[in-house]
Amino acid sequence: MGMTLIEKILANHSKQDVVKPGDILDVTMDVRAARDFGGANVVKNIIDNGLTVHDPSRTFFTFDCNPTGSDQKYAVNQQICRNFARENGIKIYDIDAGIGTHLLIHEGMAYSGSTAVTTDSHANILGAIGAFGQGMGDQDIAVAWAKGAVWFKAPESVKINFIGKRPANISAKDITLNLLKRFGANSLLGYSVELYGDDIDKLTLDERITISSMGTEMGAIILLFTPNEEIMRYSEERAGRKLELVKADPDASYAQVFEVNFDEFEPLVSRPGEPHDTVSVNSVKLTKIDSAFIGSCTNGRIEDMRAAAEILRGRQVAPGVVLKIVPSTDEVWMQCMDEGIMQIFKNAGALVSNAGCAGCAAGQVGQNGAGEVTISTGNRNFPGKQGKGEVYLASPAVVAASAVAGYITTPDDIPLEPMIFQPKSDATKISEQKNIKKEVVRPKVLEGRAWYIPKDNIDTDMIFHNRYLAITDIKEMGQYTFDNLKGYEDFAKQAKPGDMVIVSKNFGSGSSRQQAVDCFTSLGVQAVIAESFGAIYERNAINAAFPILTYKSLDGLDLNDKDEIKVDLESGIITNKRNGKTVQANPFYDVQMDIYQNGGIF
């Protein structure tokens, strides 16, 4: 039996000739990177655990979250990274470079069949060139820097075949939003997804990056494309050498195979709150906007800039509307200069910033305020992710057209006169510690009060909001737990040591932040039990020795909120002490138990 694309890549970077789903491997990482907000914690983990950098030539910092230097805590973290880099011979792609995952492609460090880890949850962007990119937490990255490899459980693979012809008005962002409409936030959870079809093979690099970027929002490990000749030529030119094309075997086995019909795709937007809450653009037309944003790792490429410029040429942004534009890399920024695109943007009245992540990161341009309605090309519109206001997600052309109209519209329906803005009146105004490892007997049976929160897709911004990301002291984290989860804003005040949290599907989706795990440890919460977890969150919890379990059903438990429960980590049996009823959950697997008993991956 042949191997899928992800299995081929993992086999080529491990000691196994053949890889199958469920195999746990030590995977060598060709590239190991850390960003500015996570980088300081990586440095802290390296120093506190007495580690050294395995291969500085493969190790990098990328300052893309706050390249404007507008936040003092980010500035401190960046300087911690700069000092460490100087001492250890590590290259920094500093505030003038752009988004790290894009730079890996631009610089020829990532290519067909290669592997990379970063502290960016959208590292799976590298699937655009048939490479394995994975976002991981600070501890994982520190281990990768020290060992050159990380443990990884080979995922099952899914194949999506695109049939029919791609409609002329369907952008790469529309393809992504149509996939989200079809598969939602968790149907592809934990899978490696390969995309095939005649029109898929014709997609440009920029288009593939847009689609791969939002694999995270679908819950997938990665969305993988097999490079075509044009993309292989690009990678070889950037890498400066001949490269081998890595692709799936013809007889590879897939957990599921889907067919989607390109002919049925339509221009879509995501409504505020959830990227997978997609609807036709026409269904939200005339929705008044306060601001618009074009950029992010999903839509900050030169093709995106050209699409926006085509709409904005000779037009003005509507009165009272703010349009913010941020190219993904300095190379894209300079292309915009050379092609006259920057002049078009400035003539239209847009604010253009230096390259970086922008709206998704709390420190750079693109944030909005309470009561503000934004249409954005970003990849996430979770509550609070891009600010306090509401965020619609759409393609660059739709965002540019809407900025001119003053309301959500399509490029073929821009009014001669924009909608007049009506002002809103409801707008509102790292600590260091030395970790001392203690020998602790860790129980295999836990007992405590259950917080039963039967909600799907509780993301990391709901668990631990990005405005607290500069916090590195675990003791300070607990007070902010769930303060962005509607109905549970007072969780931290009411929780007691020994409590356990029971939730539904896809808990911890979203960002790679370790704090979304550590905040529970800070409060003394013993465990989180879920039907499924976001892939990065699962790794972060296991590596931090924080108990997590998954279940198929709780129907037999007759569980009420605040019931006392008993959880056997070794057998997976959950008991409701109120009524004596039990259910079988998935027990700890060997690696998880080993790390738990060790007190963490370090």
Q: What is the pLDDT of residues 305-321, one digit of tens each?
A: 999 999 999 999 999 99
Q: How confident is the model at residue 427 (pLDDT cuts 50, 70, 90)?
A: very low
Q: What is the edge-to-edge ordering of all strands in the sheet holding 115-118?
A: 91-93, 59-62, 31-35, 115-118, 132-135
Task: Quick: pLDDT tens for 539-584.
Answer: 999 999 999 999 999 999 999 999 999 999 999 999 999 999 999 9
Please say if the pLDDT value at position 385 is more than 90: no
Is the Cβ–Cβ distance between 392 and 287 less than 8 Å?
yes
State mean pLDDT over 69-93. 89
Q: What percentage of residues in the chain have a pLDDT greater than 70?
A: 96
Alpha carbon distance 184, 188 (integer Å): 8
DSSP one-letter code for 151: E
State mean pLDDT over 504-513. 94
Q: What is the CATH number of the domain that holds 384?
A: 3.30.499.10
How many independent structural domains does the chain possess? Answer: 3
Alpha carbon distance 461, 468 (integer Å): 10
Pairing type for strands 115-118 and 157-163 reads unpaired
Q: Is residue 433 part of a domain?
A: no
Residues 179 and 279 reside in one and the same domain? no
pLDDT of residue 426: 52
Query: Which range (384-398, 428-442, 508-522) has the least confidence?
Result: 428-442
State mean pLDDT over 522-534. 97
Residues 506 and 391 reside in one and the same domain? no
- For 313-349, b/e burial (b = at least 16 CB within 10 A) is eebebbebbbbbbbbbbbbbbebbeeeebbebbeebb
pLDDT of residue 75: 85
Of 209, 233, 264, which residue is a domain's last? Answer: 264
DSSP codes joined into one string, 361-409: STTSTT-B-TT-EEEE-SS---TTTSBSSEEEE--HHHHHHHHHHTB--
Q: Is residue 412 part of a domain?
A: no
**Mean of the per-residue pLDDT values of the chain:** 93
Residues 145 and 274 reside in one and the same domain? no
Q: What is the CATH number of the domain that holds 462?
A: 3.20.19.10
Please say if the pLDDT value at position 72 is more than 80: no
Q: Is residue 410 part of a domain?
A: no
Domain that holds residue 252: 5-264
Nearest to 257 by CA among 121, 161, 156: 161
Residues 38 and 139 reside in one and the same domain? yes
Q: How confident is the model at residue 83 (pLDDT cuts 50, 70, 90)?
A: very high
Residues 254 and 194 reside in one and the same domain? yes
DSSP codes joined into one string, 478-526: GGGTTTTSTT-TTHHHH--TT-EEE--SSBTBS---THHHHHHHHHT--
Alpha carbon distance 135, 118 (integer Å): 5
Please say if the pLDDT value at position 177 is more than 80: yes
Alpha carbon distance 141, 51 (integer Å): 12
Q: Is residue 126 part of a domain?
A: yes
Residues 179 and 253 reside in one and the same domain? yes
Please say if the pLDDT value at position 517 is more than 50: yes
Residues 76 and 136 reside in one and the same domain? yes
Q: What percentage of residues in the chain have a pLDDT greater than 90?
A: 86
- Tokens of residue 390, six digits: 């509401």
Q: Is residue 170 part of a domain?
A: yes
Kindly report the number of other CB atoms within 10 A of residue 357's CB atom: 30
Residues 224 and 273 reside in one and the same domain? no
pLDDT of residue 430: 41
pLDDT of residue 433: 47
pLDDT of residue 365: 80
Q: Is residue 431 part of a domain?
A: no
Of 209, 238, 264, which residue is a domain's last? Answer: 264
Q: Is residue 21 part of a domain?
A: yes
Residues 64 and 199 reside in one and the same domain? yes
Q: Is residue 432 part of a domain?
A: no
Could you tell me the pTM of the whole model?
Answer: 0.85
pLDDT of residue 367: 80
Is the Cβ–Cβ distance between 351 and 317 less than 8 Å?
no
Q: How confident is the model at residue 441 (pLDDT cuts 50, 70, 90)?
A: confident
Of 382, 405, 428, which residue is a domain's last? Answer: 405
Q: How confident is the model at residue 32 (pLDDT cuts 50, 70, 90)?
A: very high
Task: Quick: pLDDT tens for 195-219.
Answer: 999 999 999 999 999 999 999 999 9
- Tokens of residue 396, six digits: 């660059």
Residues 194 and 141 reside in one and the same domain? yes
Residues 197 and 253 reside in one and the same domain? yes
Residues 284 and 305 reside in one and the same domain? yes
